[in-house]
A and B are shown apart, each in its own frame.
Chain A
């Protein structure tokens, strides 16, 4: 399976702290994507990192990718209560069967005031 597996399953932090979520996968990839899901809603695309990139930033988000270890991390700096959500990683492997993403069960982040 090419799905990513997020770790930890749940994370609780105080507002202002940094949150780090990890993702491991098993196959070679073209890119890896991170998504956020607020409770009961659809997923929102956060950031995409290509296999030849090692780090990428977007606002308070920092994503790293280590293809030798088949792992990625998502860092949210100076977290806010509004960051409370589930976060999913999705590695993309280009196959003859098409470019489809497979999602894991996510990390549930709770940011407390």
Chain B
């Protein structure tokens, strides 16, 4: 069964900490995405990547960075965590070809205290 795996289901971090959220896919997909989901705001795109070492800003990149050193892994980095980054973070991947849906991970619920 194809999968997108997010390293942590729940995470609690302190304000100011550097936080790494890891996402790994086993489908050889070219595209990978990071979203955050908040009540009343839906899913908002933070960053996405078309290929290894490629990255593009989404709608809300401020306070985040990403890394894609290998095709299967896409990391989201919170350089200095703040309480307003408390959220559900969802990783997804898709083939480069149009006509296929996204495969999502189970999500990481991050709480910054």
Contact = CB atoms under 8 A, between A and B. Distances in A.
A41 B45 contact: no
Given A48-B100, A94-B98, A42 B56 contact: no
**Contact residue range for chain A?**
20 to 34
B100 A100 contact: no
Given A88-B43, A105-B42, A99 B107 contact: no
Interface in B64-97: 88, 90, 92, 94, 96
B98 A105 contact: no
Contacts of B56: 97-98
A44 B98 contact: no
A44 B107 CA distance: 12
Given A48-B99, A48-B100, A92-B98, A104 B42 contact: yes
Nearest to A1: B59
Given A97-B56, A100-B58, A42 B41 contact: no
B109 A40 contact: yes
A41 B106 CA distance: 5
A30 B101 CA distance: 13
Contacts of A31: 98-99
A43 B98 CA distance: 19
B40 A48 contact: no
- Top 10 A-B residue pairs of the complex, sorted by shortest distance between their CB atoms: A45-B101, A42-B104, A105-B42, A103-B43, A43-B104, A42-B106, A42-B107, A104-B42, A42-B105, A103-B42
